[in-house]
A and B are shown apart, each in its own frame.
Chain A
Amino acid sequence: GENVEQHPSTLSVQEGDSAVIKCTYSDSASNYFPWYKQELGKRPQLIIDIRSNVGEKKDQRIAVTLNKTAKHFSLHITETQPEDSAVYFCAPRMYSGGGADGLTFGKGTHLIIQP
């Protein structure tokens, strides 16, 4: 199965600064790379994802970059705001078309935005 590691486990940044969270995976066949955000006491929600034929994807203040050679992908949040405080999970996966199995999540990164 997929071995997933996230770094750092906790990240504290000043409001307005940028934050970067890295996810390293083991399965070179992985082709789908999502990031989920979970606010305290809430459900996880997908915030951005990327597929292996794309190196980078942006959505307003968030972006994901992929390095398939090194087997890692990163979440970038710019101009951080208090509402960005949450736990972020990566969940890389290999999909061969049709069918599905569950995601293997990293252990999460607790992002703290300091006012």
Chain B
Amino acid sequence: DAGITQSPRYKITETGRQVTLMCHQTWSHSYMFWYRQDLGHGLRLIYYSAAADITDKGEVPDGYVVSRSKTENFPLTLESATRSQTSVYFCASNLGGDQPQHFGDGTRLSIL
């Protein structure tokens, strides 16, 4: 699904640094989501957003900040990266409710 893109695809940074992962969708979906995927844990929800300027915490929000000033963008910021945040991050979007969630290609983030 080319309608949702994440950048960068790969990122290496150091502990304590700030890093922002970008997510952009072209479907005008109201709802957007951030998940992290780790071995043994599957996919876990970090934050989600129902519309511009409306965000809410998921299962594992600590250490992350999100914003949604425009419907099409939903950036995820790690304000002070820690090694435990090394993971693959997926952004997703949908029309809401029980409509399928469409995922981006993911960002593989390594924190040294």
Contacts and interface: CB of A to CB of B under 8 A. Distances in A.
Contact of A98 (B45, B58, B96, B105): B96
Interface residues of A, number: 26
A105 B48 contact: no
A59 interface: no
B98 A32 contact: yes
A49 B101 contact: no
Nearest to B35: A102
Given A43-B106, A89-B42, A89-B43, A103 B96 contact: no
Contacts of A1: 59
State the main secondary structure of chain A at its contact with B: loop
B78 interface: no
Interface string A97-112: 1111111111110000
B56 A103 contact: no
A104 B105 contact: no
Contacts of B106: 43
B103 A44 contact: yes
A51 interface: yes
A42 B6 CA distance: 13
Contacts of A42: 105
Nearest to B34: A102
Interface of A: 1, 31-32, 34, 42-46, 49, 51, 89, 93, 95, 97-108
Identify the 10 closest CB pairs spanning chains A and B, nearest first. A102-B45, A43-B103, A32-B98, A46-B100, A107-B42, A105-B43, A100-B96, A100-B31, A105-B42, A95-B98
22 contacts: A31-B98, A32-B98, A43-B1, A43-B90, A43-B103, A43-B106, A45-B103, A49-B100, A93-B98, A95-B98, A97-B97, A98-B97, A100-B48, A101-B45, A101-B58, A102-B35, A103-B33, A103-B45, A104-B59, A105-B42, A106-B42, A108-B42
